[in-house]
Amino acid sequence: MLHYNLSAKNKIIRFIPLFLFSFLLIFGQSFTYGKEVKTSVDIDKLDNYIKKARKAWNVPGMAVAIVKNGKIVLAKGYGLKNFSKKDQVDKNTLFAIASNTKAFGSAALSMLIDEGRMKWDDKVQKYLPYFKLYDPYVSAEIRIRDLLSHRSGLGTFSGDLLWYETSYSTVDILKRARFLKQKYGFRSGFGYSNIAFMAAGEVVAAITGKPWKDFIKERFFKPLNMIDTNIGTSELKKYNNVASPHYVKKGQKTKTVPYTTSDSTGAAASINSSVSDMANWLIMLLNKGKVGDKQLISQKGLEEMWTPYNSFKVSSRYNKMFPSTHFRSYGLGWGLNDYHGKKVISHSGALDGMISRVALVPEEKLGLVILTNSINGLSSPLTYKIIDTFLGMSSKDWSALYLERMEKRSKGKEKTKENKKNKKQKLPQYQIDFKEYTGIYGGLMYGDAKVSLKDGKLILDLLPSPIFISDLSPLHYDTFNLQLRNTFSFIPGGKGTVQFIRNNKGKIIEFKLDIPNNDFHFYELEFIKKK
């Protein structure tokens, strides 16, 4: 779940523009990567706030870094890497940064543009002839800039099931994207697309002749001294100081969950890093793309990435919380907004059991990174607390405020759920032959699924992603309840339905799958009976 989510109704906020700036002077030596310095801000007080907030939000472990004027003023771990063990998170503990990988993807392309090897408005098919979308016109006209600003016309998270725990390569996934129906007209809506950023990473590979991850390591990780930062779940397994992802739900036992296999996501969500390493990345960006005397990305390139290209509404509800915000937009791999007269550049990311947050205020040379090992909403209020602390304003208790709002929403949802449960009628049962439903089903986009019968019960297995194995039980005639066997942070309860479709002769020819959640669109998948 490497996603960026703007909808207030969604449980997990994948990206909300964050608001940071400061008028406080940082005292220290010259520009030095990885070195912490003293500041006139009361860092001890802020440190205590972070500790209390983590416990209040029941986050197993997290790490935070803050940079100001080219210096690290805080880089520290909090809590446990794994809730069932005693190993503490430190500033070098690795987390999945998920969609904060996207900024590296945009930066790689900006670097190639600086070198005269491509342009922002080059057509994608110039480099990836195989990349096609549902509409032939869009396939022919989509540009690099469109990929990076989420205006391809695809809906938010559309096609993400193609990469989630499947064995498909990045190129395989992109070739299957042509079957995804578009939600918006070309360049007329905001649809957060991981598929688009995966394509952007493959453009880098096509131009340079080397895999995207090798280019990023050579051109960014090495000069920035990001010594532990790596790419993909396969590389992460080689390290010891790693945070475990967790499933945390009130009233339920906290569990560790497996790392999402992120290798195929490329420029969309594949990087694993620590706050120490990410601080070096922030310092470079805030130093106008320079590392010491070396220019990694031109100032012109940064300006291009931080220019609004796809804007969205500032609602009255949002403005009530943040009255100084007048615009919200997306640039090229970054979210943009204003806050108290300052331009804020930010992004969030999430994979199953991991949430990350990065934010910059270039005018104030201020930046932060927050990495956590559970799905939670703490990064937003914690960011506002950091803002207010550095601004010197009378600070709200953002953590308490957000927790109160979250609990109110939770109670409202529980009440609605209870009302629906009370109104639910017992459906009549039918004598059915389970063998009718067994067989292989599939479609061109996703692949096959198998419905089998074992010990008198139906089992559904999505073959491209075996982690989605589930048990079926009769609900009403040809509709069955679905219960996933594995635990997923983004599917609380792991429940859904499967509806089998018959033709006019009464023969089962297809099934429709619905597993309600805010991240993956199971209803996009086609399962036609093959045998």
pLDDT for the residue 427: 53
pLDDT tens digits along 465-488: 999 999 999 998 899 999 999 988
Distance CA 332, CA 486 (A): 36
Q: Cβ distance 501 to 510 under 8 Å?
A: yes
**188 falls within a domain:** no
Does the pLDDT of residue 452 top 60, yes or no? yes
Q: Based on the domain organization, do 355 and 451 belong to the same domain?
A: no
Q: Based on the domain organization, do 234 and 344 belong to the same domain?
A: yes
Supply the CATH number for residue 247's domain. 3.40.710.10
Q: Based on the domain organization, do 231 and 362 belong to the same domain?
A: yes
pLDDT for the residue 413: 57
pLDDT for the residue 414: 54
Backbone angles phi, psi at 393, to 5 degrees: -85, 165
**291 falls within a domain:** yes
**427 falls within a domain:** no
| Average pLDDT for the chain | 88
Residues 334-349, mean pLDDT to the nearest whole number: 92
Supply the CATH number for residue 445's domain. 2.40.128.600
pLDDT for the residue 19: 29
Q: Cβ distance 461 to 449 under 8 Å?
A: yes
Q: How many domains does the chain have?
A: 2
Query: Which residue segment(s) compose the domain that 511 sits in?
Result: 434-529
Q: Based on the domain organization, do 386 and 479 belong to the same domain?
A: no
Q: Based on the domain organization, do 395 and 443 belong to the same domain?
A: no
Distance CA 404, CA 261 (A): 34
DSSP state of 122: S
Q: Is the pTM of this model over 0.85?
A: yes
Q: Which residue is listed with tokens 């690290």?
A: 72
pLDDT for the residue 407: 85
**340 falls within a domain:** yes
Q: CB burial class (10 A; 0-12, 13-18, 19+) of residue 48?
A: exposed
pLDDT for the residue 426: 61
pLDDT for the residue 14: 36
Q: Based on the domain organization, do 440 and 485 belong to the same domain?
A: yes
Q: Based on the domain organization, do 249 and 286 belong to the same domain?
A: yes
Does the pLDDT of residue 17 top 60, yes or no? no
**490 falls within a domain:** yes
Q: Cβ distance 255 to 246 under 8 Å?
A: yes
**28 falls within a domain:** no
In three-state secondary structure terms, 522 is: helix
Residues 310-321, mean pLDDT to the nearest whole number: 90
Query: CB under 8 Å, gap of 24 or more: what pairs does 417-426 form?
Result: none
Q: Based on the domain organization, do 361 and 242 belong to the same domain?
A: yes
Q: Cβ distance 152 to 194 under 8 Å?
A: no
Residues 220-248, mean pLDDT to the nearest whole number: 95
